Amino acid sequence: MTRLDEREGRPGSADELGLPEDAPVYRAVGLSRDEVAELLTGRHVRRAEDGVWEVPIVLKSLRDAVETMVPVPLSHVNLNADLVGYVEEEAAEIPKKEPIRLVVLLPEAERAAADDGVLRALMRAYFRERLRRFRAEERQALRSVGAATFWGFVFMLGCQVVRWLANFPEHPTITSTISEGMLVLGWVALWNPYDRLLFAWWPALKKRRLVERLAGATLELRVLPFRLPD
pLDDT tens digit string along 8-54? 444 456 677 777 888 777 766 667 777 667 666 655 677 888 888 88
The mean pLDDT of 124-141, rounded to a whole number, is: 81
Give the rounded percent of residues in the chain with a pLDDT score beyond 90. 0
What pLDDT, on a 0 to 100 scale, did the predictor assign at position 13? 67
What pLDDT, on a 0 to 100 scale, did the predictor assign at position 4? 46
pLDDT band, residue 145 (cuts 50/70/90): confident
What pLDDT, on a 0 to 100 scale, did the predictor assign at position 207? 84
What pLDDT, on a 0 to 100 scale, did the predictor assign at position 39? 64
Lowest mean pLDDT among 6-15, 64-73, 77-86: 6-15
Please tell me which residue, 75 or 208, carries the higher pLDDT value. Answer: 208
Give the rounded percent of residues in the chain with a pLDDT score beyond 70. 75
What pLDDT, on a 0 to 100 scale, did the predictor assign at position 111? 74
pLDDT digits (tens, 9 = 90+) for 163-220: 888 878 888 888 888 888 888 888 888 888 888 777 777 777 888 888 888 888 888 8
What pLDDT, on a 0 to 100 scale, did the predictor assign at position 216? 84
What pLDDT, on a 0 to 100 scale, did the predictor assign at position 196? 79
Query: Three-state SS across the chain?
Result: CCCHHHHHCCCCCHHHHCCCCCCHHHHHHCCCHHHHHHHHHCCCCEECCCCCEEEEEECCCHHHHECCCCCCCCCCCCECHHHHHHHHHHHCCCCCCCCEEEEEEECHHHHHHCCHHHHHHHHHHHHHHHHHHHHHHHHHHHHHHHHHHHHHHHHHHHHHHHHHHCCCCCCHHHHHHHHHHHHHHHHHHHHHHHHHHHHHHHHHHHHHHHHHHHHCCEEEEEECCCCCCC
The mean pLDDT of 48-69, rounded to a whole number, is: 75
Please tell me which residue, 110 or 20, carries the higher pLDDT value. Answer: 20
Please tell me which residue, 13 or 72, carries the higher pLDDT value. Answer: 13
Q: Residue 229 above 70 pLDDT?
A: no
The mean pLDDT of 76-93, rounded to a whole number, is: 77
What pLDDT, on a 0 to 100 scale, did the predictor assign at position 2? 41
